A and B are shown apart, each in its own frame.
Chain A
């Protein structure tokens, strides 16, 4: 069955430092791993995604790494800024393109 663990649940980082959030999944058939950012009261916004044939993907200050052997993928945010404060969710597809979401990480950037 599908299961995804996300850690940590809360993370406070000094502005300018890096933040890393990790998710571990159980279904080896998964081939798509997105990360979403959600601000209070708003919809989740896709910030980066990776497919199983790639080990790492970068987009400016954001990167995602995937370790298929260990079944985990991580979000890396460098040079953090106050506007990075939000809740971040990992997700992965479990059959028929349904997405299962992680439990979320509340990231706070300390000015």
Chain B
């Protein structure tokens, strides 16, 4: 089946630094990947749609200059949280589809900003 790999699984960083999260489709090509954020005991909220070879599409209220998305190849999308602050601490999950639905999710990255 389709496998999505996400790294790192956990990261702790200091306030003001940047953190990069990688999302890879291991056995399929993904022209589109999706980045979600999940706060404790809350639902998954879509942040942005990552499109291979073009700019990402951000959901309303998500700062594109703070959450930089790069989708340079058909198997890799990266999310960079720039100038991270404690309120950015969350569980970030990527997902991708292999020629249509369903979506396949990565294992997620728990970001803690101190």
Q: Which A positions have Cβ atoms within 8 angstroms of B? A: 32, 34, 41-46, 49, 89, 93, 96-104
Contacts and interface: CB of A to CB of B under 8 A. Distances in A.
A41 B110 contact: yes
- Counting from the closest, the 3 A-B pairs by CB-CB distance are A43-B105, A101-B44, A101-B43
A24 to B, nearest CB: 15
Nearest to A99: B103
B101 A43 contact: no
B107 interface: yes
B102 interface: yes
B63 to A, nearest CB: 19
Nearest to B107: A43
Given A96-B49, A98-B34, A98-B49, A32 B101 contact: yes
Contacts of B110: 41
Interface residues of B, number: 21
Given A34-B102, A43-B107, A98 B43 contact: no
A98 B57 CA distance: 11
A41 B112 CA distance: 14
B36 to A, nearest CB: 8
Nearest to B97: A97
Contact of A103 (B34, B43, B97, B107): B43
B49 A43 contact: no
Q: Which of B46, B101, B105 has the most CB of A within 10 A?
A: B101
B108 A42 contact: yes
A42 B107 contact: yes
8 contacts: A32-B102, A34-B103, A43-B93, A43-B108, A96-B49, A97-B32, A101-B45, A103-B42
B12 to A, nearest CB: 15
A97 B93 contact: no
Nearest to B100: A97
A103 B41 CA distance: 9
B46 A99 contact: yes
Contacts of B103: 34, 46, 97, 99
